Chain A
Amino acid sequence: MTDATVTPPMRAKGKSLMADDARTQKRNAAERRFKAYGIIAILVGLSFLVFLATSILRNGIPAFTQTVVQVEFTLTQEEFDAAEGTLLKTSAYTDVFVSKLTEQVSAQGLDVEVDGKAVERLLGKVGGDLREFYKENPDQIGQPAQFQLAAASRVERYLQGKLTRDMVVDGRFLEKTDLDIVDALVDAGIITSAFDWNFITGTDTGVDNPGGAGIGASVIGSFFMMLVVLFLSLPIGVAASIYLEEFAPKNRFTDLIEVNISNLAAVPSIVFGILGLAVFIQFAHLPQSAPLVGGLVLTLMTLPTIVISTRASLKAVPPSIRDAALGVGASKMQSVFHHVLPLAMPGILTGTIIGLAQALGETAPLLLIGMVGFVAREYPDGLASGLLDPNSAMPAQIYTWAARSDEAFFEKAWGGIIVLLLFLMTMNIIAIILRRRFERRW
């Protein structure tokens, strides 16, 4: 060790600390750069989130409003009798409507030419609607009545600025002169926008009527699927977790289960779709597009999530509780079911809700079991029909709309996403509240 003692330090001693030398300055610059990269990465990540959110809101909110033509008029008995007396009854009603509309527009001091054809292009078959209304409510004849008629989707897109005048090729759907009428009606306050309840409560329509499509039926479809997932995955998941956490001996069999659970958690969801198709539909002949099948597939997908979170909750219950129960002569089974499980319940429920939220947004497996491409036109009536009749589900419905060629459906898809995200947000908030409320520190 003698050679160590003689070496003098190479660096000049006594260099002042107050001034950074060039090298330190360079190193500090590198330090600032590195820190900046971190900040940039986070900002980029967050700005993606903001970008995504704005693009959802900007595109999706119009789905919740609907452009309506609001007219108030009185149909006299004579007019009713006259219209009923003609050969083409509905077009007679249309004519009545046109004249009342013209009256209202000119009362506002505006001057446009409106005819029956234009009205039908803008509003659809108005005459038929009117006739139906007055035939069903004869007492309304002679009374002032308020009509709110949905405008055609092209009118809506024109008002949103998505359809410009140059894009209108005269034809069956819309003519350029119609747009003058629209402008005048907007000025007159006759065309306004209203909340579109039909989007929330309605069912899907065929490819040719984007305006009338609603997400209601598929919300119900999703609801039935979640019912299946909840009623299967919660008990099965909890039972499996109790076994693995409290009873399982350390042997090959339990190892096998553990390995399976951790791997299933990472299997791509589409593979679960294949499983559902092959086992539930091809082999067990369950009906295609049924929420029951969707629920079964999603149950298998959600189980690993629930098992993992349930085991964590069970593990968090201190052994002293088990010992206390065993100490008063309870059996192992009793100590688990009477003491451990109730204490772990909030954690289990939180995990289950998060699992359900995941399942609710899952799309890929639903594509394979036929919940897509199918037009959910009807609400189910009752439990059995809800589970077994073909239906869509929210994410599948969104996909269906996104895959249609008519761009008017895209707005519906974005709107559907808002609805879906609202559900997910609610579920997550409930989970967070549950966790906060019942979180226990041992």
Chain B
Amino acid sequence: MDDYYTTDRKMSTMQDTKIAASGVQVYYADNHAIKDVNVDIGDKTVTAFIGPSGCGKSTFLRCLNRMNDTIDICRVEGDIKIDGEDIYDKKVDPVQLRAKVGMVFQKPNPFPKSIYDNVAYGPKIHGLASSKADLDNIVEKALRRGAIWDEVKDRLHAPGTGLSGGQQQRLCIARAVATEPEVLLMDEPCSALDPIATAQVEELIDELRQNYAVVIVTHSMQQAARVSQKTAFFHLGNLVEYDDTDTIFTNPKDPRTESYISGRIG
């Protein structure tokens, strides 16, 4: 298992807790998809969610910015706090929450607009730019942080849907970054990408860690090992094990984690 250690990014000390979830239950109508999950997610940390397909990784991720509100049959119970504030409190506006907790999806989903408008969309609706020049600035910065600036700077007004799959995904990351979130949720951001694009995105994630708490769902254990400091293993809706990435991959406590990592379940 040594070959997982392609980086030396170790957690020195646990950062402040950014998100604290306790006793989270999620139901899709009668289907109990998340069963009593407790997890603390640190700030300026990359946390990876791993687990077999259908175990509820995406579902839990979508609880963190209340994207599940858009699904009629979905019901969330329990307690999720960001910076000590309960995000399911009645007073919380999911719109404001999502500005703070950005999301990147599995399949790249650029809007059918120009590259520029894709990135400018978030800043515009949140009123982050005071002038056109300001907006241009934000867009450029976001595209640079999305590691795609050099590829698109000459065609900012071409449609975003005309890019390649990898470029589209990086555009979506830039789009998410442009709204200045504090937490970035990424649901299998690299599953549509080739190894080179994946490497670019991974590097990007590592850089984003400086400013954000990043939560990433991935099916690739190598990827989890490469980019994350903490890893959570989900199985059948349960959070089986949550620990430092090193520990999970070298010394798992639960036999289920062990067998998943060594490829026996999943």
Q: Which residues of A contact B (CB under 8 A)?
A: 1, 3-5, 7-11, 13-21, 23-24, 27-28
B15 to chain A, nearest CB (A): 14
Residues in A neighbouring B91, C-beta threshold 8 A: 18-19
Secondary structure type dominating chain A contacts? loop
B96 touches A13 (CB 8 A): no
Residue B151 lies at the interface, judged by CB distance under 8 Å to chain A? no
B207 touches A14 (CB 8 A): no
Which of B85, B93, B96, B211 sits near A9, CB closer than 8 Å?
B211
Residues in B neighbouring A8, C-beta threshold 8 A: 211
Residues in A neighbouring B10, C-beta threshold 8 A: none
A6 to chain B, nearest CB (A): 9
Interface string of B222-255 (1 = CB under 8 A from A): 0000000000000000000000000000000000
Residue B156 lies at the interface, judged by CB distance under 8 Å to chain A? no
B83 touches A14 (CB 8 A): yes
Q: How far is the CA of A15 from the CA of B83 in the complex (A)?
A: 9
Q: How far is the CA of A17 from the CA of B211 in the complex (A)?
A: 19
Of listed B82, B96, B126, B204, residue having the most chain A CB within 10 A: B96
Q: How far is the CA of A24 from the CA of B126 in the complex (A)?
A: 8
B92 touches A17 (CB 8 A): yes
Residues in B neighbouring A24, C-beta threshold 8 A: 93, 95-96
Smallest CB gap from A26: residue in B: B127
Q: Identify which of B26-34, B56-64, B140-148 touches chain A.
A: B140-148
B160 to chain A, nearest CB (A): 20
Sort chain B's interface into a size bin: 20 to 34
Q: Which residues of B contact A (CB under 8 A)?
A: 82-83, 85, 87, 89, 91-93, 95-97, 100, 125-128, 141, 144-145, 147, 180, 182, 203-204, 207, 210-211
B67 to chain A, nearest CB (A): 16
A1 touches B180 (CB 8 A): no
* Interface CB pairs A-B, < 8 A, 12: A1-B144, A4-B144, A4-B147, A5-B207, A10-B180, A17-B83, A18-B85, A19-B91, A20-B93, A24-B95, A24-B96, A28-B93
Q: How far is the CA of A21 from the CA of B99 in the complex (A)?
A: 12
Instruction: Given A17-B100, A18-B89, A23-B126, decide whether A7 and B141 contact each other with a Cβ distance below 8 A.
Output: yes
Q: How far is the CA of A21 from the CA of B95 in the complex (A)?
A: 11
Residues in A neighbouring B141, C-beta threshold 8 A: 4, 7
B206 to chain A, nearest CB (A): 10
B180 touches A11 (CB 8 A): yes
Q: How far is the CA of A289 from the CA of B146 in the complex (A)?
A: 74
B143 to chain A, nearest CB (A): 9
Residues in A neighbouring B85, C-beta threshold 8 A: 16-18
Q: How far is the CA of A23 from the CA of B124 in the complex (A)?
A: 12
Which of A1, A18, A28 sits near B207, CB closer than 8 Å?
A1
Smallest CB gap from B89: residue in A: A18
B87 touches A23 (CB 8 A): no
Which of A13, A14, A17 sits near B97, CB closer than 8 Å?
A17
Ranked nearest first, the 5 interchain pairs of A and B with the lowest CB-CB distance are: A4-B145, A9-B180, A17-B92, A11-B180, A18-B91
B128 touches A10 (CB 8 A): yes
B124 to chain A, nearest CB (A): 11
Smallest CB gap from A9: residue in B: B180
A191 to chain B, nearest CB (A): 60
Instruction: Given A10-B128, A17-B100, A23-B126, decide whether A5 and B93 contact each other with a Cβ distance below 8 A.
Output: no
Residues in B neighbouring A15, C-beta threshold 8 A: 100
Known: A1-B147, A4-B141, A27-B95. 17 other contacts (CB 8 A): A1-B145, A1-B203, A3-B144, A4-B147, A4-B207, A13-B182, A14-B83, A15-B100, A16-B85, A17-B82, A17-B87, A17-B92, A17-B96, A18-B92, A20-B93, A24-B93, A24-B96
